[in-house]
Structure 1
């Protein structure tokens, strides 16, 4: 297990009382923040409160680490480029059981816990679902008492802060560390060196063996920052270890004294760029190189970090019994050749032994079905940045292809398809292939996704290794996404079926009979209405957006990407407006509806940014259209993040999960909405398939083509203009956008988007339009009967306990990791 040195903070394992908590808070305020209560700023108060709560976790954390290390327990090392943790204060209070104590203690000092918690700045160390999933998984690993450590990067600037200027997305730095964060504990004494560049050379070692030596061109320091990850209902506190890049020689005094001040700190600047920002824009060669540097940086540091904790004389052939490295998508895959390099070049193992150890130590989770999302790195870049690793990859590939040729003699087409090295359009390393070859197990993240991964994306590999592929459907932590984000619903569940369900979410099935109880349905609606009121109030304060809570809340929040089809949702909005303008329907007959979008587009993704501009342009007109009488409104709050999600998800009535079938790996937003009582309108894609099966078709608004139908239409030749020409409503909506009504009369403003829809439409928005509109009409009818709607919503909550990340982690343990639980005694 990792090393943790004693923190300089005073830790406490004594049970907290209101008085002891208050004393510790005031001590932190005086001795750590250096202020008195009467002069403390809001940030002073937050920092002091967070450190107070943190100190109540430290003893259990140190005990967990040392006990697991002494026992030599098998560790799950979760390697992820993203961790979208969200605010930490409430989760720490929940896990330590200190919420009521803290509230009372602060109240006695004339302070408000609500006011202080609002000061917290969440670390935006993830882009969306991948990072949020990683955060859920490390929460569940701790809760299930599994020895585990999450490894990642401490980005100085996380996912950008999104603003809108004239309706267009503008990215601003996310300076989440500007005031420091009380949750991290740096361990500069445990920094490790990470190398780049240089060349390789042949040498003879002390035993007379010919070896390859990597002579790097530069090195940087990886400095670890530890975050405590408390389990719920247990004394176990695991660790998230994030690496920050520093220069090995940060300052050249001689150059500085010569007057060249910039050159004097150049090494520091170059090194720190590695952990400067999450996902640097990679449309330039420099951006690509920085991304690859980031990936190798945190993986190399993490592997070295774990290996140095092994006892002296440890038999490395037993390494897979002590560690399992889980590759969260392709970002950490460079770890496969890195471990080979260490075992062969540094530890002197034979290639065959090292390969056996490496392959049994790694497992790979694939999170995509889109070919462009399967990472490749050019041979030129890899050879320049990591020359020894490229040599190792070549040898792995040579050995692997020899096995393919032996199994399929004469099938050179198969050999080319399966080669880790692609030849066109440029010579490059296919990282998903390397991960598959170098892992014991490969898993998808939903039943449909795993089937498509096995049968289409990696079909040659599954034919060769049928037992290597498995499925683990994603899940979410109910601690954050029910208990913390929706306390009113959690209290209602407690009052109805008792406590204990947060660690056993399948117990939500006990709510099923209450769907037929009119008084329970009424209480359930009151919870939903209160959550709507709360969100409306927040949006007015946060963004100046005025909404009515007496409406159907129709919500689509996720990364802005064409396959997720925000355009389909927008076409529905425009269709309603177009029909009212034409007199086909009366505004008075519309169900009041608030459509909420939340999404960020990658800075270099032109189409996604144009769609954001179109959504904001439509919203501006629709929200002020007298013809609609205020019965249709569109809200697009900027900078959607976990903090906002925790307020929006409990308020949603309708969850938009409308990706083209066969394109979404899983989704986790769909699970969060269903568990909070929103009904889903969606395609049979990703985990929607399992949600639909579990909640029942009568409680799910299904539309659209199935994956085989999508494939059939694609094979036959998809012509989006035929759908446009053959559907008057669709034609009306697109023509209205093209008319200039949403752009002050400029008919060319949205030509980029409309032209793509009519002549490319890669994700078949137009093909699914009609069934989507019909499904939305069913939504209107269903929502008019509030008793029936409430029954459906309650059954969604009751039947989606399967989607807890605790179950996902158990599936990983049973099917892949085989790491036993190791509870720590308080």
Structure 2
């Protein structure tokens, strides 16, 4: 253990000294941020020794590595994570108590890093934590965005986006590594495979330490910043704007050609830099480039890092002078692809003109890959002309990134059992026919260290006291709690835990938005990216229905258990429908929250700027977890797992990982409704869905639509939403509405039986162990990566 953290007295002395050295202030005069900064600096410095030991072990033992390429890593605050995993938390807590400092307050002074937005990035962060905790040499690779997605404000009920310049304050956990900067060529033209007159850009790595759980292992996330290259002769205004645009913002607006080019450029820069760095490292260790695949796996997380594949081919062929066939063999034994998308319209495609202009040599390589792939398909004989065209890496005027990934990888995995089945049998059916051995499933998981141990100390203590603390290292042991599902003492403890966590969330919401929630009400929560297939719209339409029924039906009102509906979501800035749904939710929230005849029974809150830190309050506080996507549309979900692990019941469709949640915890302990995946597929195939007919036959829907038109001084204000539902309703909101109403009636009744509800809650906790990302990562390693463990105790 680092000497500073060995004892609270040693730590206190160093802490006060560092505060004086860094800020020239005494403890009593210091700000909360200064206190955080000093703690973070001391902690980060203490991790250097183990970081170096880990690197030395990997190098000396010639260990194979996985490089995890992802556009996003939604890390959240690192201070708590690093204190807990390093084993220093208790020492610091005791020292702070002596110094009369609030550790919790200091932890909250850290800003969320703006390196991700949604589930994709949060999953990647969980994978880093689990890999380090399992002692696996896995390293993240992404861009160092100076601004996050955006800070969300709701003004006049509408989403307003503000820049998120999170790096304006020092990011204490990163370390610049200028010595390993890489020059990357762009634009130019190709002559005999050589790129002539390229524009050069420099990628500079910053390393963020990733701390394993009390095993001494410290790996890293490598983030690439961009700057002007010394190789670039002409450095004008346009060039500098491009260079500094690459790492400026996560997901810049791509509604015009300049924005599209920038997005493609971002994808290329972090992919190319990561590949180049790994090959350089491999050669520096005296290894043969032809053996590269024996020492590295590149895990491509969704299609953003697709260019890893042609870039690797470019380096092997053009720089290492390896022939195409051998370069292809090395590349396809190195690359593995995780698909996160079922929606075929969401699969990434790039305009040929933009692609060829920005990356002429890469495009030439993709053309050759496509020519060879088409030849394989034609020779195979099982595919007709249309199938050969549709499977191609290049279409009429676009490059198909997912197809490059499938062709160029040795492994293609989905992220939930249902998702993988849909990929194999529907969306990627022809590819599965061609490559049945490539496809496999790796159901997502979450790191229980953050989403249970860190964020729910109350539940952690209950588990420790009830079943023993060894579950922390083996989450399957949570099943021992099953024996206590009807134990009144355990039920009471779980009940109290929920009340405590609900109170903490209610306090946050009241402080930020002035809405007072009754902690005895059902906390019903839907937090996730705002997208039509996730059906936040169905949720709010149902709430409007409940409100109308409370106003008109005294018997219903008499029997209705108080309910607080909580939403959190960001809509992509150019996604008009999603922004309209936010406006609808927030407009209605004002109406219902201010209606004294019903607001003791029904409240609605749309939380502002939902992020990881907010999620740490939200996940443990939920009674009911809304997982209501149209069946077949959600690849997996991970919020559903966080809610389950903290004792919420899922109200949802049989979609994504909900299928496995129900398998683990039991159908009786969750509330399932709506069309099944086969039913949805059949309706799409027959193209016979007429939403207007459902509307005409259902007075409830007519009344809800009428109310929506009354919510704004312009009755047509929300007609874009209503007309979409009546004329297309692609995600079956109206089709599933009746079933959803019934599901909620069941949930409301269930909650009145406290013992019955707590039985279900305990069953969800007890059977959530499957959803730890430790299990997911173990599966990846056993089936795909085959990494040996780092054992610093040897």
**TM-score bracket for this pair, using the shorter chain length:** over 0.9
Matching residue of 2:775:
807
Alignment of 1:44-55 (within 5 A): 44-55=34-45
Q: Deviations over 1:580-604 (max 9, x none)?
A: 2333645343211100000000000
Q: Deviations over 1:57-90 (max 9, x none)?
A: 2111111012101221000100000000011111
Q: d(CA) in 2 for partners of 1:170 and 1:251? A: 39
Matching residue of 1:217:
198
Cα displacement (A) at 1:732: 1.6
Matching residue of 1:16:
6
Q: d(CA) in 1 for partners of 2:205 and 2:86? A: 25
Q: d(CA) in 2 for partners of 1:216 and 1:820? A: 43
**Is the counterpart of residue 779 in structure 1 residue 752 in structure 2?**
no
**Is the counterpart of residue 753 in structure 1 residue 740 in structure 2?**
no
Matching residue of 2:275:
303
**Is the counterpart of residue 573 in structure 1 residue 543 in structure 2?**
yes
Conservation of the 8 A alpha-carbon contact between 2:147 and 2:248: yes
Conservation of the 8 A alpha-carbon contact between 1:295 and 1:334: yes
Conservation of the 8 A alpha-carbon contact between 2:142 and 2:222: yes
Alignment of 1:665-676 (within 5 A): 665-676=635-646
**Is the counterpart of residue 354 in structure 1 residue 316 in structure 2?**
no
551-560 or 372-381: bigger deviation: 372-381
Matching residue of 2:367:
394
Conservation of the 8 A alpha-carbon contact between 2:212 and 2:218: yes
**CA 21–264 in structure 1, closer or farther in 2 if over 3 Å, else same:** farther
Cα displacement (A) at 1:542: 2.7
Cα displacement (A) at 1:265: 6.0
Q: For this pair of structures, how many residues does the alignment match? A: 792
**CA 36–224 in structure 1, closer or farther in 2 if over 3 Å, else same:** farther
Conservation of the 8 A alpha-carbon contact between 2:5 and 2:11: no
Q: Which secondary structure state, in structure 1, belongs to the residue aligned with residue 726 of structure 2?
A: helix
Cα displacement (A) at 1:216: 4.7
Q: Which secondary structure state, in structure 2, belongs to the residue aligned with residue 19 of structure 1?
A: helix
Matching residue of 2:672:
702
Q: Deviations over 1:330-386 (max 9, x none)?
A: 000011000000000000001100000000100000001011211011111111000
Matching residue of 1:728:
699
Residue number among 451, 463, 472 corresponding to 2:433 in the alignment: 463
Q: Which secondary structure state, in structure 1, belongs to the residue aligned with residue 139 of structure 2?
A: strand
Residue number among 452, 467, 483 corresponding to 2:422 in the alignment: 452
Gaps of 5+ in 2: none
Cα displacement (A) at 1:627: 2.8
Q: Which secondary structure state, in structure 2, belongs to the residue aligned with residue 553 of structure 1?
A: strand
Q: Deviations over 1:742-761 (max 9, x none)?
A: 22x42111111111011111
Alignment of 1:400-479 (within 5 A): 400-408=373-381, 411-423=384-396, 427-479=397-449
Matching residue of 2:46:
56
Alignment of 1:258-657 (within 5 A): 267-312=239-284, 313-408=286-381, 411-423=384-396, 427-583=397-553, 585-657=555-627
Conservation of the 8 A alpha-carbon contact between 2:72 and 2:124: yes
Cα displacement (A) at 1:190: 1.6
Matching residue of 1:31:
21
Residue number among 79, 83, 89 corresponding to 1:89 in the alignment: 79
Cα displacement (A) at 1:164: 0.4
Matching residue of 2:131:
141
**CA 811–409 in structure 1, closer or farther in 2 if over 3 Å, else same:** closer
Cα displacement (A) at 1:29: 1.8
**CA 410–110 in structure 1, closer or farther in 2 if over 3 Å, else same:** closer
Cα displacement (A) at 1:465: 0.8
TM-score, normalized by length of structure 2? 0.97
Conservation of the 8 A alpha-carbon contact between 2:282 and 2:289: no
Cα displacement (A) at 1:625: 1.5
Matching residue of 1:764:
732
Conservation of the 8 A alpha-carbon contact between 1:249 and 1:267: no
Q: d(CA) in 2 for partners of 1:43 and 1:801? A: 36
Q: d(CA) in 1 for partners of 2:15 and 2:149? A: 32
Matching residue of 2:651:
681
Q: d(CA) in 2 for partners of 1:383 and 1:46? A: 48
Q: Deviations over 1:746-797 (max 9, x none)?
A: 2111111111011111100000000110010000110000011000000000
Conservation of the 8 A alpha-carbon contact between 1:296 and 1:332: yes
Cα displacement (A) at 1:502: 2.1
Matching residue of 2:154:
164
Matching residue of 1:128:
118
Alignment of 1:240-251 (within 5 A): 240-248=221-229
